[in-house]
Structure 1
């Protein structure tokens, strides 16, 4: 809790310099950002596997930095393509004494492939695009935890059938109108696209 309280103070201070989170969410920062991140440790029906947690498009460090603060023995990789964000994430992790955090300045497309135990992404990309970009970081044992707001069920329905998955939607513990897509990606391939029109064949 002390680490989380310090994280909130660091966030409020830095948000005066760069727009880490929407200002309208600051009065509710604990529920909107901290608890919304922490719930990912409990919302899935599956036991989370040990091993590295990959947080894609981490932004202000949610959920990745909050998870790292709650599980300081788990390696957590935070990925973001904005330099100012990643510089702040490095400073915040240092101030919180989180030696388990690795911050990567990169687009997801440019990351080297490799398996991870857990993959999270909060407001990063639509599910079909996210899975297409990120399947190479996953194994059949990897648990995906994807907060998706009110459109979670609709996004899951639109995931192409070519992906073999066991994803489902769990009710968010912090927002009655939101859902979290949880589960595992067992295999499959992205749908073929038409280079001429950029549409699915």
Structure 2
């Protein structure tokens, strides 16, 4: 379990993706976030004191579930940039689509992306319902919507091979237990940054009663 800022930095350093350039991008992200948080409430003020644990490592823990070279990666409701900007910072070669509908968040994500030199990352500034259908190899969503609604909104971007990564906090097991309408191969992984949190991981086959 990662419990401190030092633990988080050490864990990140041990990732295959985290060379000196990647760490510099993450350092820049932490600094930009602190500055921007004075202008708009991107994250809680209290969490800024644990930004490496609460936001950066918490986002990066999704990477081991996805083989290198897998893309595009679609992050739903990216908001302050988690996990989208962290994924892009650690895998800059990967196409990362950050879906966000709030104008000030869109502006922040674009400025941060450009400052960090993330040429393969792109901000899609629309409500999810309005985003043009495409096939994503990975779909992530952190605190975006309850599981059933999330799948209803976003299943059109998924194939049977798409990897879903859905940090769900304490509700992960219950939300998965309550999932009735979908054929899936989902399970809950323990979060590395929160002993009470889980991550729903797996693939989606489609709605029950409908053809694939």
- Shared fold (TM-score greater than 0.5)? yes
Match for 1:131 among 126, 132, 151? 151
Moved more, 170-179 or 47-56: 47-56
Q: 2:60 aligns with which of 38, 53, 57?
A: 38
Given the superposition, is the C-alpha separation of residues 48 and 185 from structure 1 closer, same or farther in structure 2, using an over 3 Å criterion? farther
Whether contact under 8 Å (1:7, 1:96) holds in the other structure is yes
Change (3 A) 1:190 1:111: farther
Moved more, 61-70 or 48-57: 48-57
1:52 alignment partner, one of 72, 76, 79: 72
Distance 1:137 1:57 in 2: 14
1:4 to 20, 26, 30: 26
Q: Which runs of 4+ in 1 moved over 3 A?
A: 46-49
Question: Separation in 1 of the partners of 2:164 and 2:92?
Answer: 20
Specify every segment of 5 or more residues in structure 1 that has no aligned partner in the other structure, as ranges. Answer: 192-201
Is the Cα contact below 8 Å between 1:49 and 1:142 reproduced in 2? Answer: no
Cα offset, 1:27, TM superposition: 0.7
Question: Number of paired residues?
Answer: 188
Match of 2:137 in 1: 117
Q: Note the aligned Cα RMSD (angstroms).
A: 1.5
2:46 to 17, 24, 27: 24
The answer for the alignment partner of 1:14 in structure 2 is: 36
Q: In 1, distance between residues paired with 2:104 and 2:172?
A: 30
Which of residues 138, 145, 148 in structure 1 aligns to 2:165?
A: 145
Aligned 8 A contact 2:69 2:94 in 1: no
TM-score by length of 2: 0.85
Alignment partner, residue 106 of structure 1: 126
Runs of at least 5 residues in structure 2 that lack an aligned partner in the other structure = 1-22
- Residue 49 of structure 1 deviates from its aligned partner by 6.4
